[in-house]
Amino acid sequence: MLKKLLFSAILIAVLFIVTLYGYMNQQVNKKIPLIEPELITINKGATVSSFSRELVKRGWINTNVWLKAYIKLTPELSALKQGSFLIPTDITYVELINLLVNGKEHQFAITFIEGSTLKDWLIALSNDINLAQKVPDLTVDNVAEYLGLQHVNPEGLFFPDTYFFTSGTSTIDILRRANNRMNKELSSLWNNRDADLPYENEYQALIMASIIEKESALQSEHPVISSVFVNRLNKKMRLQTDPTVIYGLGERYKGDIKRKHLREKTAYNTYRIDGLPPTPIAMPGKLAITAAMHPDTTDYLYFVSDGFGKHVFSKTLKEHNRAVADYLSATKSK
């Protein structure tokens, strides 16, 4: 009789455990109630217990008992990876834990467009909440020092593109990657440049590329614009390009260039100085750099906006003056 009772008790216990285990599996294999993907961050030192409590706070589960019990039975899932993870919809709690243990961190992105300046970059970097601001006093004046760059003014030394990163990446890391990318692209294009270009080195070519970039948003015009500036340099003519004047004015530029600005002799006023300005005036993209290295073959020495997003190119000053008059007339008619 005693044996029967003992057997019954063991059987009941086994059935209870099996039922409990089955119920636990049923609970942890339910879909998380997500309407859209959500980002979740696992901080350093986070445990399954603390994380499961976070899930309760978020309303993803009613109780963390079953999830904690499941992890107790599968200890290989207890080591959560630090970082930020994008949780997709249609995922179970078990799949979630596997993602946080074995998955890849979410990649954030920051984009810098062609023609933007270092000042623009620093503003964008400082405003990105997913980046670590390990250098809180980062400015245009000290970027070169932090990165160990040889140019005091590092304008133009960073390649404009989209950069992906994980949470906690520092702003300096992004700038270093962009600088390395620019060095690689510039060196490659310089080594395959046209012969007899009026540049002493690749840095001067980069300066030219930045001017081309700022002169026209129409990239198909870049090789022609490059030819104008190359022709002017070869003839010892001044570049006389407004974007360099604007860059030299800095905060003093209020939206228009005045006659007094053109008369002012600054390092960037190409109406007053010979040759190229001392540094790039923006971050040129690959097409602008390519145009600086491979200008079209033309006799053009001048160009002016046509008032409709393109430029009119001229070989003589007389032709240019006529094009300027047409531009002014088109502007007035608008």
For residues 215 and 295, the answer to whether their CB atoms sit within 8 Å is: no
Q: Are residues 67 and 129 in the same domain?
A: no
pLDDT tens figures, 133-184: 888 789 999 999 999 999 999 999 999 999 999 988 999 999 999 999 999 9
Q: Are residues 329 and 291 in the same domain?
A: yes
Q: Are residues 158 and 220 in the same domain?
A: no
Q: Are residues 113 and 96 in the same domain?
A: no
**Is residue 89 predicted with pLDDT exceeding 80?**
yes
Per-chain mean pLDDT for the chain: 88
pLDDT band at 77 (very low <50, low <70, confident <90, very high): confident
Kindly calculate the radius of gyration of the chain based on its CA atoms and give it in whole angstroms. 31
List, in sequence order, every residue forming a beta bridge with 39; answer none if it has no partner: 86
- Sign of the Cα pseudo-torsion (196, 275, 282, 305, in order): negative
Out of 102, 129, 160, a domain closes at 102
Q: Are residues 162 and 71 in the same domain?
A: no
More confidently predicted of 46 and 232: 232
Q: How many domains are there within the chain?
A: 3
Q: Are residues 63 and 123 in the same domain?
A: no
**Most confident stretch, 80-89, 90-99, 105-114, 317-326:** 105-114
pLDDT band at 312 (very low <50, low <70, confident <90, very high): very high
Q: Are residues 164 and 131 in the same domain?
A: yes
pTM of the model: 0.84
CB count in 10 Å sphere of residue 41:
15
Domain range holding 156? Answer: 108-185
Out of 86, 102, 118, a domain closes at 102
- Distance, in Å, from the CA atom of 272 to the CA atom of 241, rounded to the nearest integer, reads 11
Q: What is the mean pLDDT of residues 114-132?
A: 95
Q: Are residues 307 and 212 in the same domain?
A: yes
Out of 85, 102, 119, a domain closes at 102
Position 219 scores a pLDDT of 93
CB count in 10 Å sphere of residue 326:
14
pLDDT tens figures, 12-29: 666 666 666 677 677 777
Which residues, 6 or more positions from 160, have their beta carbon under 8 angstroms from its beta carbon? 112, 113, 114, 115, 116, 178, 283, 284, 285
Look at residue 1 and tell me if it is in a domain: no
Q: Which helix (H) or strand (E) holds 33?
A: none
pLDDT band at 247 (very low <50, low <70, confident <90, very high): very high
Look at residue 12 and tell me if it is in a domain: no
Instruction: Tell the residue number behind the tokens 């088109």, with chain if given.
Output: 330
**Is residue 293 predicted with pLDDT exceeding 90?**
yes
Q: Are residues 230 and 212 in the same domain?
A: yes
More confidently predicted of 8 and 303: 303
**Is residue 265 predicted with pLDDT exceeding 60?**
yes
283: nearest Cα among 157, 132, 103: 157
Position 1 scores a pLDDT of 64
What letter does residue 271 receive in the DSSP assignment? Answer: T
Angle at 91 between CA 85 and CA 95, to 5 degrees: 70
pLDDT tens figures, 46-65: 787 888 888 888 888 777 78
